[in-house]
Amino acid sequence: MAEVSVSKKSMESTRGGESTRNRGEGVLAFS
């Protein structure tokens, strides 16, 4: 149960946070 919860949270985090984070890192790298 805990693993499933973490997985779901991780998925949501990756979908929203990782996208933004990757975008920011990409901009910094390109700059």
Give the three-class secondary structure for 31: coil
CB atoms within 10 A of CB 18: 13
pTM (predicted TM-score):
0.21
pLDDT value for 31: 47
CB atoms within 10 A of CB 13: 13
Give me the tens of pLDDT residue by residue for the chain, a chain 31 residues long: 566 666 666 666 555 555 556 666 665 555 4
DSSP state string for 1-31:
-HHHHHHHHHHHHIIIIIHHHHHHHHHHHH-
